[in-house]
Amino acid sequence: MTEARACPALLIGAPASGQGKTTLVAALARYHRNQGRTVRVFKAGPDFLDPKIHEQASGQPVHQLDLWMVGEQECRQRLYDAAETADLILVEGVMGLFDGTPSSADLSHHFGIPVATLIDAGAMAQTFGAIATGLATYHPHLTFAGVIANRVASPGHGTMLENSLPEHIAWLGSLPRENAITLPERHLGLHQPDTIADLDTRLDAAAGLIAETPLAKLPPAVTFASPPAKEPAPRLLEGSRIAVARDSAFSFVYPANLDLLQTMGAELCWFSPLADRDPPPCDAIYLPGGYPELHLDQLADNTAMLAAIRGHHREGKPLVAECGGMLYLLESLTDGSGHRRPMAGLIPAAATLKSRLAGLGLQGATFAGGELRGHTFHYSAFDQPPTMALNAVRHPYGSAGEGIYRDRGLTASYIHWYLPSNPVAAAALFGGHR
């Protein structure tokens, strides 16, 4: 008989991006945490900034759930593990409820997690009910918990919205149009938590609003079946030491990536390309994505670190760079105001930050060890791209995706890899082989 665990759970969806899902999920997490409950939050789809907000709100680690990038088995394992200790599981959806392949609705249906949809009602009245009805009925097998209105102008406006709903759709309350709970944004999304000085004040203010809604009550429990046993990750990095860049310029890395590297035997150490003169002694370097364009002068002026990175590459040691980490290795980088500075010069190309999104979506690439999956999301673009060793493939379209630059031990791309999608291929990037 399959063991199962039950825990109250809810997925927050919306008709589109920008509706306020992150604010609502963070408010729910902080409210229930303040009631003494253990809250585990997950983020549907690829994202780095929203999980940081949810970690601050819940006080618990936040991981991704995605049926393609993460995989069904790992998603099931993470939900099952969370249900053991949590009093509430919350999942923040990605984009619109039915956007993407797989979508947030697919995730909800697959694991039986009810959906509550948040609709920005700031510029609408009775049409609110029509949108809610469409969301509730579009997928006939979706468990629809109800609807929440965001950016409501007044109590009277809220009553109008509630009255627009048909009887079979539950009203779960509303959040006002209130600057005190709004989370600031920049071109890649929300600001990082450590740059929002009053973040806890905003979270507590948002949590206080939850107390006045039906969302203050725990949702019904969902039963999560135990996943099938899987092979442990091979210890292909036993005895290796990997230096991971971590500061305000480079911080976009999945916790699951770091966990996997350690599970495979690697010792992780940390360094700051902004502040340190060189990385600690290591066998490989990992440069995650982030915001190098916001720190151009400090990165360019730290010539000792740039020289150390070049020296590491000359020795042929593994160097894995993702998105912002790759930009750091170019000949130069130009920010959105036209300010250009030289970078490490290991990749014969330059890039410029654009005002419009230049790359978005799930992608996978086939290495010698098999397919490694990830995603891309960037506003910068090459002035003239370098010669790439191979190209990723866009999911689910099958078209050519981001290029992957390789030179001796260097592997660099705009792609943020989800390393657990293929531990063998991941280990090979860092010098580990069967």
Span 110-149, pLDDT tens digits: 999 999 999 999 999 999 999 999 999 999 899 999 999 9
Q: Look at residues 324, 290, 314, 430 and name the one whose alpha carbon lies nearest to residue 367.
A: 430
Does residue 126 share a domain with residue 85? yes
Residue 234 lies in a domain: no
pLDDT score of 186 more than 50: no
Residue 398, C-beta contacts closer than 8 angstroms, at least 6 positions apart: none
In whole angstroms, what is the distance from residue 194 CA to residue 424 CA? 34
Residue 396 lies in a domain: yes
Determine the structural domain holding residue 330 and report its residue range: 241-429
For the segment 402-424, the average pLDDT, to the nearest whole number, is 98
In whole angstroms, what is the distance from residue 430 CA to residue 152 CA? 50
Residue 138 lies in a domain: yes
Does residue 303 share a domain with residue 279? yes
Residue 361, C-beta contacts closer than 8 angstroms, at least 6 positions apart: 375, 376, 394, 395, 401
pLDDT score of 188 more than 90: no
Does residue 274 share a domain with residue 176? no
In whole angstroms, what is the distance from residue 394 CA to residue 402 CA? 8
Q: Which two tokens stand for residue 317?
A: 């040691």
Does residue 163 share a domain with residue 275? no
For the segment 309-331, the average pLDDT, to the nearest whole number, is 98
Q: How many domains does the chain have?
A: 2
Q: Which two tokens stand for residue 237?
A: 């990095």
Residue 334 lies in a domain: yes
pLDDT score of 234 more than 80: yes
Does residue 355 share a domain with residue 266? yes
Beta-carbon count within 10 A of 369 CB? 18
Does residue 390 share a domain with residue 295? yes
Residue 95 lies in a domain: yes
Final residue in a domain of this structure, among 167, 196, 225: 225
Span 65-90, pLDDT tens digits: 999 999 999 999 999 999 999 999 99
Final residue in a domain of this structure, among 225, 254, 275: 225
Is 75 designated active site? no
Residue 377 lies in a domain: yes
In whole angstroms, what is the distance from residue 249 CA to residue 296 CA? 9
Does residue 378 share a domain with residue 324? yes
Final residue in a domain of this structure, among 225, 256, 289: 225
Q: Mean pLDDT over all residues of the chain? A: 94
In the numeric block, the tokens 């709970």 are attached to 181
pLDDT interval class at 346 (50, 70, 90): very high
Does residue 202 share a domain with residue 61? yes
Catalytic one of 7, 75, 282, 323: 323
- Structure pTM? 0.93
SS (H, E, C) 193-212: HHHCCCHHHHHHHHHHHHCC
Does residue 290 share a domain with residue 324? yes
Q: How far is CA 16 from the centre of its chain?
A: 17
For the segment 330-358, the average pLDDT, to the nearest whole number, is 96
Predicted pLDDT of residue 345: 98
Residue 416, H or E segment: strand 416-417
Interaxial angle between packed helices 21-34 and 49-58, expressed in degrees from 0 to 180 and rounded to the nearest 10: 20
**CATH number for 286:** 3.40.50.880
**CATH number for 129:** 3.40.50.300
- One-letter amino acid for residue 382 of the chain: F
pLDDT score of 1 more than 50: no
Residue 93 lies in a domain: yes
Does residue 257 share a domain with residue 140? no
In whole angstroms, what is the distance from residue 167 CA to residue 398 CA? 43
Does residue 194 share a domain with residue 146? yes
Does residue 284 share a domain with residue 403? yes
Residue 231 lies in a domain: no
